Amino acid sequence: MTTDKLICDFSTPHCLDWYSVDDVVMGGASGSRFYRNPDSTGTFEGTLSTENSGGFASVRTFLPERDFSAYAGIRLRIRGDGKRYSFRIRNDDRFDGIVYKSDFDTVPDAWMEVSLPFSEFKAAFRGRTVEGTHPIDASNIVQIGILVSKKQIGSFTLDIDWIKAYVAGK
């Protein structure tokens, strides 16, 4: 019987190499960082700005294990700030290109679990939904990430306790 699979809990080295990809790559002024806390949670924080046609901040990491075809989706235990975030999945190791995204809302200062079924992820390219693409390939999840955008100007903070792949029906 397949059970949920832990992807990240921020206590093991394989999930500590997150890097920022912010709108500065196209001249914007947003900035973010990701770090591990002493309690083995992770924090994605920064400042979102729409200056110079900007408006997004994100972090991502590469996964050592990539086959999640036995699972129905991604589940996160998070504590947010009331903003909307996007969980991102890439089926390749490229910096740019098609990404699969699923948005979720947070409640200020409350720990909560968010379930994101693979079937609801939408293909996107540079912030725009792309129709007519193949669905996400759960057997080859190369990168995962989190993004904040949509003119939610100002500081943001998202704490993450863990990221798991979950089994259908759970």
Q: Where are the domains of the chain?
A: 5-166
Q: What is the pLDDT of residue 1?
A: 53
Report pTM: 0.92
| Contact between residue 56 and residue 149 where contact means Cβ atoms under 8 Å apart | yes
Residues 6+ apart with CB under 8 A from 148: 32, 44, 46, 48, 56, 57, 58, 83, 84, 85, 86, 156, 158
**56-115, pLDDT tens digit by residue?**
999 999 998 899 999 999 999 999 999 999 999 999 888 777 899 999 999 999 999 999
Question: Between these two residues, 147 and 17, which has the higher pLDDT value?
Answer: 147
Most confident of 7-11, 94-98, 132-136: 7-11
Residues 6+ apart with CB under 8 A from 118: 68, 71, 72, 73, 74, 135, 136, 138
* DSSP type of residue 135: P
The share of the chain scoring above pLDDT 90, in percent, equals 67
Q: What is the pLDDT of residue 92?
A: 83
Q: What is the pLDDT of residue 170?
A: 61
CA–CA separation, 80 and 113 (whole Å): 11
| Contact between residue 91 and residue 140 where contact means Cβ atoms under 8 Å apart | yes
How does residue 147 score in pLDDT terms, banded at 50, 70 and 90? very high
Task: Name which of 94, 71, 76 is nearest 143 in CA terms.
Answer: 94
CATH architecture label of 5-166: Sandwich (2.60)
